[in-house]
Amino acid sequence: MEIFLPIAHMDVNLLLVLAFGVSIGFLSALTGVGGGFLLTPLLMIIGVPPLVAVGTTPALIAGSAAAGSYSHWRLGNMDLRFGLSLLVGSWSTAIGAIYATRILERGGHFETIVVFTYVTILGTVGTITFAESIRAVFGRAAVAGAPAATAPTGGPFGWLPGQVEFKVAQRRMSILLPLLLGAFIGILNALGMGGGFVAVPAMIYLLRVPTKVAIGTSLLLMLATSTVVSTMQASINHSLDPILALTLILGSALGAQWGARMSSILPGEKLRLLLALILLAVAIKFLVGLLTTPAELYSLSRVGR
Amino acid sequence: MSVLRRGLALALVLGCCAGAIGARADSGLLTELQSSHVKITTGFTGQHVFVFGSTARPGDIVIRVTSPDETQALSRKSRVGPFWIKRGKTRIERVPGLVYLLSNRPLDEIADRAVLERHGLTFHSTLAAAHVDAESAQGYAGWQAAFERLKQKQGLFRKLESDVRLEDGRLFSADFPLPAKLPIGPYRLDVYAFRNGVLIARHESTLRVDEVGVERWLSRVALQHSVTFGVLFTALAVALGLSLSMLLRRDRIRRA
């Protein structure tokens, strides 16, 4: 069943896009990893222009992060002061990155940057997840869980200026740390990757924030950053395709509920292994594309959207 | 279907001739489109366009269909270290997005290449008015060949050399498929009548290709009111994410 996408200006199989949404929702419900960084390259593989793929994913992330944020907010797992510091960082770089996207797209370099970024990020995350889940599946008890937040102050970054008390996170740390982390997440988000897959481990392992607070605050960060990125991608780069976004949101909501139902039955660690393999496969596909001599050197694209 | 269409064509052409309505060129070349409006809806998967007409004298018929001129970006990959990457893009202005050349027999048999070139009946000659940004055009010499090749691959430059059917030498009809992904705007449909390799008549008509309904509304809102669209659509995405998850969760709890 073909459907015409008004902004991507192409037709796609509606059921295929719906299936992408369902898989992303399903995988993120089961593995706890949001799917933006997988969805954007999948859309590119089926021929959605990189700019539109990158511009449409944030709408989906905003939708699913809203659902997650709400329940974590009710559970009190959010450190608002910590979240706001992260947001100041992520908003600044995300806004900058969206304007940079416009310039890079005009010059014809955006696709190259997106492809290289995805090869690197998918390759790295895929390898780490693969190694972790292999250890978990084959039983040699992985050191699961966060390091206990025994020392409320100090730690490796204790010497930095601007120490601030974050109450819910039970941590005192330099405000520069969430600002910097947020700044990195902002760039990832503007490239259509969400960034929760980097934010959560960074908060837990580097900043020693309790796991629940890390997840809750990361969802808040995803929601608030993606909302701004989605709005700006639509208004500045004209790259948010409404039909594509709606189909994906619907699919992912269904997939997430399905995943939540299956979570007690399916082995989570084996699914993480599956996710790792998918990530590596996509990374390798892009890498092969970069390394092999293309049959056609030229390509055409539309101008003046 | 085909018989019905031909019958219809014949009836209409005869009607046109008799009543002298429709479009008439000096030399008695007449053309009509069964429908002069192609509507792109959300479910658009391409459409057949049916053209018919008559000439005063028997000969060959060539029909050129062109979409409005537009600007396209052409990029070329080159090798940087071990990687093949796109290095910038060149803007090519004033090129048609779609060119179809329909004829009753191969174009080379109808007229000499020089004649065809002069009347814009080769892909190459339709690119004559194109303008390439000189600054970024380095390394793009001979871009026309690449452009033609890519357009042919996309099905937007096509030669349909047996698509025009001649009936008793005076009446002709053609039925060509427009693809799902096509440029929008007023298309030109030029009909050329050749006799012994010489152009004897020419007639022009137009075909509108527009987005209609939801499709038109969405692309207009998204492009012309992009800030409002961005804010409202993002709000919708958030609201939808929240409400769908609550709705589906309640459903799950009830079932459990």
The string of pLDDT tens digits covering residues A233-261 is 999 999 999 999 999 999 999 998 888 88
pLDDT of residue A221: 95
Mean pLDDT (chain A) is: 88
pLDDT of residue A80: 92
Looking at the complex, does the CB of residue B225 fall below 8 Å from at least one CB of chain A? no
Pairing of strands B198-211, B185-195: antiparallel
pLDDT of residue B18: 42
Looking at the complex, does the CB of residue B83 fall below 8 Å from at least one CB of chain A? yes
> What are the φ/ψ torsions at residue B225 (nearest 5 degrees)?
-120, 55
Binary contact (B240, A293; C-beta < 8 A): no
Looking at the complex, does the CB of residue A207 fall below 8 Å from at least one CB of chain B? no
Binary contact (A4, B42; C-beta < 8 A): yes
Binary contact (B241, A63; C-beta < 8 A): yes
Binary contact (A300, B150; C-beta < 8 A): yes
- Residue A299's pLDDT band (cuts 50, 70, 90): confident
Q: Tell me the whole-structure pTM to 2 decimals.
A: 0.84
pLDDT of residue B254: 57
Looking at the complex, does the CB of residue A11 fall below 8 Å from at least one CB of chain B? yes
Minimal Cα–Cα distance from B239 to chain A, Å?
7
pLDDT of residue B20: 41
The residue ranges of chain B whose pLDDT is under 50 are: 1, 16-25, 256
pLDDT of residue B83: 93
Binary contact (A64, B88; C-beta < 8 A): no
On the question of pLDDT at A125 being above 60, the answer is yes
Rounded percentage of chain A residues whose pLDDT exceeds 90? 51
Establish, for the pair of chains A and B, how many residue pairs have beta carbons separated by less than 8 Å: 180
pLDDT digits 0-9 by tens, B78-137: 899 899 988 878 888 899 999 999 999 999 999 999 999 999 999 989 888 888 876 666
Distance of alpha carbon A203 from alpha carbon A225, whole angstroms: 17
> Which strands, in side-by-side order, build the sheet including B185-195?
B37-40, B198-211, B185-195, B60-66, B99-103, B157-160
Pairing of strands B37-40, B198-211: parallel
pLDDT of residue B25: 44
| Long-range pairs of B242-245 with CB within 8 A, sequence gap ≥ 24 | B242/A63, B242/A66, B242/A67, B242/A70, B244/A63, B244/A67, B244/A249, B244/A250, B244/A253, B245/A64, B245/A67, B245/A253, B245/A256, B245/A257
State the complex-level ipTM: 0.88
Number of H helices, E strands in chain A: 10, 5
pLDDT digits 0-9 by tens, A259-297: 888 877 877 778 888 888 988 999 999 999 999 988 888
Chain A residues in contact with B217 (beta carbon < 8 A): none
